[in-house]
Structure 1
Amino acid sequence: MKLLEDRIVRDGVVKTEYVIKVGSFLNHQIDTALVDELGAEWARRFAGKPVDKIVTIESSGIALAAIAARHFGNCPVIVAKKSRSMNLDGDLYATQVESFTRGGVFDIVMERRLLKPGDHILIIDDFLATGSALTGLLDIAEQAGATVEGIGIAVEKGFQPGGESIRAHGYQLESLAIIEKMDPDTGAIEFR
């Protein structure tokens, strides 16, 4: 998606060959007009899919998922939590994920009453690198007996194994910008 690629080039900051900062428009400060365009693009790419819920993981995917939900008939958004709290009631789905940017393994949980067999979900997230967060969300969907209709990612790091691994499992993965290479010395970014 050229609109997103142009914005990444203009406002993204390449920190290392593996890390790009897009906090000024995508996940710290959010350009809602841009994110609305992302939602419309995912709706176009997943047209005809019977999506009735959108699933994401806290916290950076929440805004993207919520705005995208407007383009899928204002369906509910379910947020997998990165920690248990007193506000989570009853029986939970749980799995573990490894965070590339946070460094470490942590549990993600979701109340079982929110995701059930027969649900048709679209997973939305801001980044895809190693695929661990997505694998965790796919595990929760499998535990629930929900059907994954597709996965929408804003920025995929194509030089890391996540996208290839997820696609090899047969999922429709639609990344709106796929970065092939980043140079922290020059700030240059190459897209697929």
Structure 2
Amino acid sequence: MELLQQKILNEGTVLSDHVLKVDAFLNHQIDPQLMVEVGKEFARRFQNDRITKVLTLESSGIAPAMMAALELGVPVIFARKRKSLTLVNDLLTASVYSFTKKETNEISVSQKFLEPTDNVLIIDDFLANGQAALGLASIVELAGAKTAGIGIVIEKSFQNGGKLLRNKGFKVESLARIQSLEGGKVTFGTEGQVPRPTIYSQNQETSVQEVGVGR
């Protein structure tokens, strides 16, 4: 998705070989127009999967999940990480380990919002090690429903999450796949082919781009 790649190149910051900061447009400050386009692209990719619910994890997944659900014409549910006084009974839960925060969260969804007849699209902002997506998929399974697919805004394909999910048979669609963050540079790869890095310039359009950011 070219618009998303340009946002990453222009406004993302590489903090290390494994960490990309995108708080300028995705997970702190949010670019609404970008989210509209993200939602449309997810809806296009999963239009034939008979989606009945969109499921995400608070809080960074809510914006792209909301836009995808709007385009698909279905409800969106977000799993809670924090305890709530009003969400205590009949909960579907899973434990999710965050490699970034080095902590384990118990996520929960009220059982009344997921039914065995649901085809669920899981949406999240990042895919690295795949633990959040697996946790959400386990909640779908506990409900007796089906995970129809997993939509990811940004996948770090140099980490093992994407391979893990795909090997388990999940349909995974990522709007931007990052092959490398080494040397403070973002290198994009494309699904289904071996990436061939090229140096990104403002006047050049390529399927694989490399540029230094956050120096």
TM-score by length of 2: 0.85
Aligned with 1:188 (options 185, 190, 202): 185
Structure 2 match to 1:56: 56
Structure whose CA Rg is larger: 2
Distance in 2 of aligned mates of 1:92 and 1:20: 33
The amino acid across from 1:177 in the alignment is A
Task: Write out per-residue CA displacement over residues 22-61 of structure 1, whole angstroms, 9 at most, x where no aligned residue.
Answer: 0101111111111111111111111211111100011100
Mapping 1:1-192, distance limit 5 Å:
1-73=1-73, 75-183=74-182, 185=183, 187-192=184-189
User: Between the two proteins, what is the percent identity of the paired residues?
Assistant: 47
Report the residue type matching 1:30 in the other structure: I
Cα distance in structure 2, aligned partners of 1:83 and 1:26: 21
Amino acid of the residue matched to residue 35 of structure 1? M
Moved more, 82-91 or 5-14: 82-91
Aligned with 1:137: secondary structure?
helix
* Contact 2:40 2:67 survives alignment (8 Å): no
* Secondary structure, counterpart of 2:25 in structure 1: helix
Matches of 2:75 and 2:43 in 1, distance apart?
A: 15
- Which ranges of structure 1 fall in alignment gaps of 5 or more residues? none
Separation in structure 2 between the aligned mates of residue 141 and residue 89 of structure 1, nearest angstrom: 18
Question: 2:95, 2:188 → 1: CA distance?
Answer: 31
Distance 2:61 2:179 in 1: 22
TM-score by length of 1: 0.95
Counterpart CA distance in 1 for 2:143 and 2:57 is: 16
SS at structure 1 position matched to 2:26: helix
Q: CA deviation at 1:89?
A: 4.1
For 2:43 and 2:122, the matched residues in 1 are separated by: 12
Q: Distance in 1 between matches of 2:32 and 2:14?
A: 22
Code of the residue aligned with 1:28 in structure 2: it is H
Decide which structure has greater helix share: 1
Deviations 1:126-168 (A, max 9, x none): 0000000011001101000111111110000001100000011
Greater Cα shift, 41-50 or 133-142: 41-50
Instruction: For 2:175, give the aligned amino acid.
Output: L
Gapped regions of structure 2 (runs ≥ 5): 190-215
Distance 1:94 1:49 in 2: 25
Which 4+ residue blocks in structure 1 deviate beyond 4 angstroms?
Answer: none
Letter matched to residue 188 of structure 2: F
Task: Give distance in 1, aligned partners of 2:134 and 2:148.
Answer: 15
